[in-house]
Every structure is written in structure tokens, then in C-alpha cells.
């Protein structure tokens, strides 16, 4: 006799090819989704981050219902925590087991296992689908290495996937990395006539998103930011629109100007696609393929395409691999013994240091900075000031719409703060511009 199972879809697993859904039966099984006030109160998460996540979850549930799934959804108004929501679900539907796609973060995986054990429901994990490489493959590649180089893993991934590879197996254009062509300055930008792309697509707030905004402001009133300022996509169709807009209007100059920082230009030629990718609204491969297609059809140059591909196939995969290789001990890394507390102005932007003030004002207002601001302004200051790396990690995790544990651990502790002693970065990313203000 067929048994009814419940499919628990986590908030950062809103993927079309969700592996647990692929194993389930619409006519028999039921989807369980829950928002947890307790989980979202453990840190001071930015209201835009919260609103984006909850709205995306509710829209995903709506899409599942429209396609024939039975969805049991528990909102923040009736979900103090995951266990309470799951207990109500189990009491109502009485499934024989729980299917969950392997969580993307270590502590989330532990939490799901503990909740299922406490609820006395058998748990089965299905394979993750939001990355291009398997966790075991990365661990096998990294085995025995005292230091890892992203560039080596990037080349391996390019070869495995056949991305920008010529018929003879060599990299298209003759080089694996075209970063030397991607360092144009403000002077170059001015000489070129100060090019700017058109504004990104506007996503109006529908009834679902408006309700989420009101609830976030009610339940998380002390969190930073304003939920109504949400501008990130919350549906797959909106995310696809953002990807198409990036390829059409930004990718062409992304490479040349990806390291450029300009006052009043928080995005310029950057994609801002990491948030929908990390939620599952876009797959990393479809983003890569869209960029490669634009190059092959002559719409964008190779240096921009390779630079964008490297961020996804290279950096995103590498960061995730380091996370699963080194956790959970990695979270406590502090090789430089940095112990200063994070200054209060990281939550107010009230500082005389202009570059910090503008960067902090941007993230407090929008839950977004591009990667150079994060590394060379915010991370650089924390490194020079000797900020405790766990406090730095906490703040980055709170503030950014694209931040999840697997993203931020290696990016902050390894790349920005050198807290892992150089395991994943060849050198500390430090400069002396802040010293006079320390």
C-alpha cells in the first residue's frame, strides 16, 4: 500500500527541480512549508531580507498549489517555531515519513534532523540541486591539500561542464582567467562618457508581498531597514526578468567595470542575481548559459562573460565546497586573534569615514552591496581594526539579502578577515586607507 509522505521545503530551496518534489506523488503526498519567528529572531536580520524570503516562499507555495500540489503552509503569524508548525502538520496529515532536500547549511541540516527526531517522524534527505558540483567531489579534490586555490577548482569545473572550452580542451580565448582585462578605473569610466545602464526592472508589490511587508514590520519591528523598500525578485518570473535585463544591459560592461566603486552608483553593471540564485529562483547553470549565449551571439565580450562565469562556476562553487569541507569548526576560526567589538555605526552608518558611511548607508537601505564594497571597504576595515571575526560574520549574515550560512562563512572568515590563517586565500586583503581613523 502506498504511504503518504510530507515534503518539507525549506526557505532557501525554492527550486524548480527540487529533488524531494521529484520523488513525491501529487495525488498522495503533501508539501509542508513554514516560517519561523524564532529562527528569524536569532539574529537582527534586515527587514528586506526577511520580506524577500517570506514573499518568495509564499509565491512558491502558490505556484505549487496551482500545479496541483496539496500545500500546508504555516505563516509567521501562527508559527512561533518550526517544531510547533511541524507538530500541527503531522497531527493533521499523519504522514508515514518526511522528505527534505539536503539543507544548504550545516546548522540547518542539524536542526532539521533534531526537529524530525523530536517529532518522531522518519526523515529522508534527497540530493541538493542548487550547485553544479557535488559536495563529495569537492572534498575528494581538496583531500590532502594544505591550501586551496579557487583558480584550480574553477578550471576543473570549466572542464567538467564544458563551459567556454574549445574543441581541443583549451580555454576559449587562450586563457582561463581574463581578470587582467577587468580592472578599468574611474578615469576610464569618465573617458568613456560615464556609461550607465537603464534602471533595473521594477517589481510591484502584489497582495502577497504587501501582506508579508506588514507582518515583517509587526513581528520584527526592531530589525534594521524598511521592508517596503524590497526591490529583489520574489518569483521565478521576476528573477528571469532580472537575468534577461542583466544580460541585455549590464553584462557587456560588467567585466571591465566589476571592480569599480562610484558614489551614488550602488549597482552600476553588477547583476544583483545572487539573492534569487541562492533562494533557488534561478539555477546557476541557466545564468551561466545565458551569459555564454550572449557571448556566442556577439552581444557581449569574452572578458565580461568569463568574469561572470567565474563568479558562479568558480567562486560560488568554491565557497560552498570550503564550507562543507571545514564546518562546523570553521565557524570559530580566529587565526589573527582579533577581539575588538563591531562598532555601533555598522547599524547606523554614523561615521566620519565617507567610504564606510556611503557603503553602510547603501546596505542599511537596500540589503545590498556589490562584492568589492563588501571585501575592500567593509571587510578591509574589519580586518585592519581587529574586529572579532564571529561578530563580523554575524553582521554580514544579518544584513545581506543573499546571505546564508554557507555563503558567508568562507567569504567573511576566509576571504575578508583571514581568520582561517590563509587556508582559502593566498594573502590578507588589507589596505591602509583607514588607519588614520582607527
For the chain, what are the domain ranges?
A: 5-126, 135-197+250-326, 329-437
* pLDDT confidence bin for 3, thresholds 50/70/90: confident
* pLDDT confidence bin for 429, thresholds 50/70/90: confident
Contact (CB, 8 A) for 359 and 378? yes
pLDDT at site 194: 95
pLDDT above 50: residue 438: no
Percent of the chain with pLDDT over 90: 92
Give the mean model confidence (pLDDT) for residues 307-328: 97
Give the mean model confidence (pLDDT) for residues 318-333: 96
Convert the pLDDT of each residue in 60-76 to its tens digit: 999 999 999 999 999 99
pLDDT at site 146: 85
Question: What value does the mean pLDDT of the chain take?
Answer: 95
pLDDT at site 427: 83
pLDDT at site 159: 96
The alpha carbon of 302 is separated from its chain's Cα centroid by a whole number of angstroms, namely: 25
d(CA 234, CA 81): 23
pLDDT above 50: residue 123: yes
pLDDT above 70: residue 279: yes
The H or E element containing residue 83 is helix 82-93
Convert the pLDDT of each residue in 222-275 to its tens digit: 999 999 999 999 999 999 999 999 999 999 999 999 999 998 899 999 999 999
CATH fold of 329-437, please?
Answer: DNA Cyclobutane Dipyrimidine Photolyase, subunit A; domain 3 (1.10.579)
pLDDT at site 79: 84
d(CA 53, CA 13): 11
For the stretch 113-121, contacts whose Cβ atoms lie closer than 8 Å and that sit 24 or more positions apart, written own/partner, are: 115/82, 115/83, 115/86, 116/86, 118/83, 119/83, 119/86, 119/87, 119/90, 121/6, 121/86, 121/90, 121/95, 121/97
* pLDDT confidence bin for 431, thresholds 50/70/90: confident
pLDDT above 80: residue 338: yes
CATH fold of 135-197+250-326, please?
Answer: 1.25.40
pLDDT above 50: residue 437: no
Query: In DSSP terms, which residues pair with 6 in a beta bridge?
Result: 30, 98
Cβ within 8 Å of residue 81, ≥6 positions away: 36, 37, 38, 39
Give the mean model confidence (pLDDT) for residues 114-128: 97
Contact (CB, 8 A) for 381 and 356? yes
Convert the pLDDT of each residue in 20-63 to its tens digit: 999 999 999 999 999 999 999 999 999 999 999 999 999 999 99
pLDDT at site 433: 59
* pLDDT confidence bin for 436, thresholds 50/70/90: very low
Convert the pLDDT of each residue in 357-407 to its tens digit: 999 999 999 999 999 999 999 999 999 999 999 999 999 999 999 999 999
Predicted structure pTM score: 0.95
Q: Domain 5-126: give its CATH code.
A: 3.40.50.620
Amino acid at each position: 500500500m502506498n504511504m503518504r509522505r510530507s515534503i518539507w521545503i525549506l526557505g532557501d530551496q525554492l527550486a524548480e527541480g527540487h529533488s524531494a518534489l521529484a520523488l513525491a506523488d501529487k495525488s498522495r503526498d503533501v508539501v509542508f512549508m513554514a516560517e519561523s519567528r524564532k529562527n528569524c529572531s536569532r539574529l537582527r536580520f534586515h527587514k528586506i531580507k526577511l520580506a524577500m524570503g517570506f514573499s518568495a516562499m509564499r509565491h512558491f507555495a502558490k505556484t505549487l498549489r496551482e500545479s496541483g500540489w496539496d500545500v500546508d503552509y504555516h505563516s509567521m503569524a501562527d508559527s512561533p517555531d518550526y517544531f510547533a508548525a511541524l507538530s500541527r502538520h503531522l497531527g493533521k496529515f499523519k504522514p508515514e515519513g518526511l522528505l527534505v532536500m539536503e539543507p544548504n547549511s550545516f546548522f540547518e541540516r542539524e536542526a532539521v534532523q533534531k526537529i524530525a527526531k523530536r517529532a518522531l517522524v522518519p526523515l529522508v534527505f534527497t540530493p541538493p540541486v542548487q550547485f553544479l558540483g557535488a559536495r563529495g567531489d569537492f572534498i575528494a579534490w581538496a583531500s590532502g591539500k594544505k591550501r586551496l586555490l579557487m583558480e584550480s577548482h574553477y578550471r576543473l569545473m570549466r572542464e567538467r561542464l564544458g563551459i567556454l572550452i574549445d574543441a581541443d580542451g583549451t580555454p576559449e580565448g587562450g586563457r582561463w582567467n581574463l581578470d587582467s582585462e577587468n580592472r578599468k578605473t574611474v578615469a576610464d569610466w569618465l573617458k568613456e562618457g560615464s556609461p550607465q545602464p537603464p534602471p533595473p526592472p521594477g517589481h510591484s508589490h502584489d497582495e502577497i508581498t504587501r501582506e508579508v511587508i506588514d507582518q515583517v514590520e509587526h513581528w520584527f519591528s526592531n530589525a534594521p531597514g524598511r521592508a517596503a523598500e524590497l526591490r529583489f525578485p520574489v518569483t521565478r518570473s521576476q528573477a528571469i526578468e532580472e537575468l534577461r535585463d542583466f544580460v541585455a544591459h549590464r553584462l557587456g560592461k560588467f567585466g571591465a567595470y566589476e571592480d569599480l566603486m562610484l558614489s551614488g552608483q550602488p549597482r552600476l553593471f553588477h547583476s544583483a542575481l545572487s539573492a534569487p540564485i541562492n533562494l533557488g529562483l534561478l539555477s546557476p547553470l541557466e545564468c551561466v548559459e545565458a551569459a555564454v549565449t550572449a557571448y556566442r551571439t556577439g552581444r557581449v565580450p569574452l572578458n565580461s562573460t568569463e568574469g561572470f562565469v567565474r563568479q558562479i562556476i568558480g567562486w560560488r562553487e568554491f565557497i560552498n565546497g570550503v564550507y562543507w569541507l571545514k564546518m562546523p569548526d570553521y565557524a570559530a576560526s580566529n587565526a589573527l586573534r582579533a577581539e575588538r567589538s563591531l562598532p555601533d555605526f555598522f547599524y547606523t552608518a554614523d561615521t566620519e569615514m565617507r567610504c564606510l558611511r556611503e557603503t553602510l548607508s547603501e546596505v542599511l537601505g537596500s540589503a545590498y552591496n556589490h562584492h568589492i564594497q563588501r571585501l575592500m571597504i567593509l571587510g578591509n576595515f574589519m580586518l585592519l581594526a581587529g574586529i572579532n571575526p564571529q561578530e563580523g560574520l554575524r553582521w554580514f549574515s544579518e544584513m545581506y539579502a543573499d546571505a546564508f550560512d554557507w555563503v558567508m562563512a568562507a567569504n567573511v572568515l576566509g576571504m575578508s578577515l583571514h581568520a582561517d590563517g590563509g587556508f582559502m586565500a593566498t594573502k590578507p586583503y588589507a589596505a591602509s586607507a583607514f588607519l588614520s581613523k582607527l
